[in-house]
Structure 1
């Protein structure tokens, strides 16, 4: 099955889509550093990206007519700064809003399905009308805005088409949900909104994948069975006191179904601490100590025995305090690039191009590969049946 990836960045979603079995006919981004990361890994022969037809370009200038053959899936994460909790929340007033290009790709490529993702901030009540506007544009991608037509007027026109129910043109059945990556085995609490659509003629019935991992299962293994600590060979004297987490675990009446959340310790315990053992750390690519971490209210780092807090791209230079590890003794340090890649479930043999700040920006903007794969696998299964 063939796919096209927009706004590929460092490739988190794209790698997940490739892992699900799609073959990209085109991938694109205008960020030179992200494209350098992909080019470097292509040259190194990294299997997942080796054959990607990469285009470093402005998607607004890309001619989708050069993409040959029928496209089964279009994917991408349109730049999220207009909707990010850390941004200025300008949405449709922000020139960085690339959702119109996502709609154009669907209109011109007519894929059987699409997957678009964005930050949870897109679901804020202040963006409710604009989110509905995005959803209806993706539902009726050929009902385009007229020259100088304001978006609210275009939205009203789309609503008319939707309520009439007699539209015969290109149409998609669009579903939307916020997914927490930790609930799908990613060692990071990262919430992203996914918009998934199937072309109406596919007659697909689809729902988002059910969570496979839970916090309750983690608490049970940590404080009721204590198997978590045994797995990591943490002596009783070195275990945290548990506090509220232990109290919550003791209130659980039975062992939860499913798997437990994966923690920072699960993700990086086999890597030497780059601050305490720099010589050993140098044996691992992109695993170097970065000085300067400091804790302040609201930015206290990620505890070792929980999923990491959301990695951030850092809109003001060096990423914010959440891109830190908080050790059990309370000391802190920045996550290395390799550790951050682990938290985003990138393959270990992938390298990242640029300075620490630049590579952390790429990682902070990425979709966890594993979450992308799980969603794409569900879409692929339905397309195969159809």
Structure 2
């Protein structure tokens, strides 16, 4: 009984959050691990909601272990009001749909109806959280999008300053710039930092670059910064040249292959100059203790670990070399359904990643069950934030919120 009371006390003191555009839950899992308890999880896609409910017990209100069930709402976020959470939320988080800015998309940005940043900003305006975390694809920082990137950032800094009827985004941007440089700013205001992060530098076995927007309300003395990750390619190549990488994975000498930049780095590294950083984690590191995929789900003892046939290499899509971090997993919405979601061995042979292997690459827990066909599950994973990266960002934000309360 005492343990139960302690858990309930900890939950009551936990930091409360809202999760928007939740997808399969990568960002939410990481933030929950950092101590944020979602009060509401909004996602419009049926398969994603099935995945979220099955893993977080919100469908029937069941409780799994020490976790509270997530309240998952399947709806268009534009139809959801957040005013009832005003003043009750520590963090708003989410990944607004990225197609308008994706390097694989049509790059329509502010002319694209799929741009959901206005809804993310509305959620901040209505709830007035102490902090927020939003993420998006690297394409948002392309030079063609920089004016809109600055527009998004200024809206997040001044979420109460909404656009006027019939006002263009450029006109709204000018008003925001004037307001931002004014000495009189009585309305809701956030200090915002943006960072471009490579997941591989933070212990994720995937070269996945994401832009994060982290904001703290003006009354929070956060003094926040997010350090560069401790993992590097130099340390990985050194381990492959002079360390134990190949031996601990029992890789035959004929299969010990370095490619691309790794091969270039190998010519400059010395046994006597071991990097102080930790090695990048590779695809082999992530999946080494998984058996070969089963031909059917029923014949596999591992969840979501079924063989997907017909993988092939074609120009621009050669899969992920097993002894490097994987390439960015793709959602398959740009005319290349799963074309990069392949494992490539040293001999050049390829096969598709199983859903479980892709989940390992995205640092989801092994017990996490994905709903839908292989292509649907890969879409969920291709759109996800690596859970470990989300945990590290969330942990740093939570620490600054704690420090600000003690100041």
Match of 1:27 in 2: 41
**What aligned pairs does 1:78-89 form with structure 2 within 5 A after superposition?**
78-89=96-107
CA change 1:49–1:84 in 2 (3 A) is: farther
Listed one character per residue, the Cα deviations across residues 89-146 of structure 1 (whole Å, up to 9, x for unaligned) are 1111111100000100111100110000000000010001000000000000001000
Match of 2:23 in 1: 9
Paired residue secondary structure (1:286): coil
Is 1:103 the counterpart of 2:121 in the alignment? Answer: yes
Is 1:186 the counterpart of 2:204 in the alignment? Answer: yes
Out of 249, 264, 273, the residue aligned to residue 266 of structure 2 is 249
CA contact (8 A) 1:19 1:48 kept: no
Out of 268, 271, 275, the residue aligned to residue 287 of structure 2 is 268
Listed one character per residue, the Cα deviations across residues 270-293 of structure 1 (whole Å, up to 9, x for unaligned) are 111227x87997111100110121
Is 1:339 the counterpart of 2:357 in the alignment? Answer: yes
Listed one character per residue, the Cα deviations across residues 319-343 of structure 1 (whole Å, up to 9, x for unaligned) are 2321000011111010000000000
Match of 2:371 in 1: 353
Is 1:232 the counterpart of 2:246 in the alignment? Answer: no
| Partner Cα separation in structure 1 for residue 297 and residue 329 of structure 2 | 26
| Partner Cα separation in structure 2 for residue 359 and residue 352 of structure 1 | 6
Is 1:169 the counterpart of 2:187 in the alignment? Answer: yes
Listed one character per residue, the Cα deviations across residues 223-277 of structure 1 (whole Å, up to 9, x for unaligned) are 123x1011112232332266863452241251111210000000001111227x8
CA change 1:247–1:171 in 2 (3 A) is: closer
Match of 2:11 in 1: none
CA change 1:80–1:236 in 2 (3 A) is: same
Match of 1:221 in 2: 239
CA contact (8 A) 2:133 2:212 kept: yes
Match of 1:207 in 2: 225
Out of 318, 324, 332, the residue aligned to residue 314 of structure 1 is 332
| Partner Cα separation in structure 2 for residue 344 and residue 197 of structure 1 | 25
CA change 1:68–1:170 in 2 (3 A) is: closer
CA contact (8 A) 2:104 2:334 kept: no
Match of 1:147 in 2: 165
Quick check: 316-325 or 215-224, which moved more? 316-325
| Partner Cα separation in structure 2 for residue 245 and residue 84 of structure 1 | 27
Paired residue secondary structure (1:147): coil
- TM-score, with structure 1 as normaliser: 0.95
Match of 2:318 in 1: 300
Aligned residues: 384
| Partner Cα separation in structure 1 for residue 254 and residue 199 of structure 2 | 32
Out of 130, 145, 153, the residue aligned to residue 112 of structure 1 is 130
CA contact (8 A) 2:233 2:262 kept: no
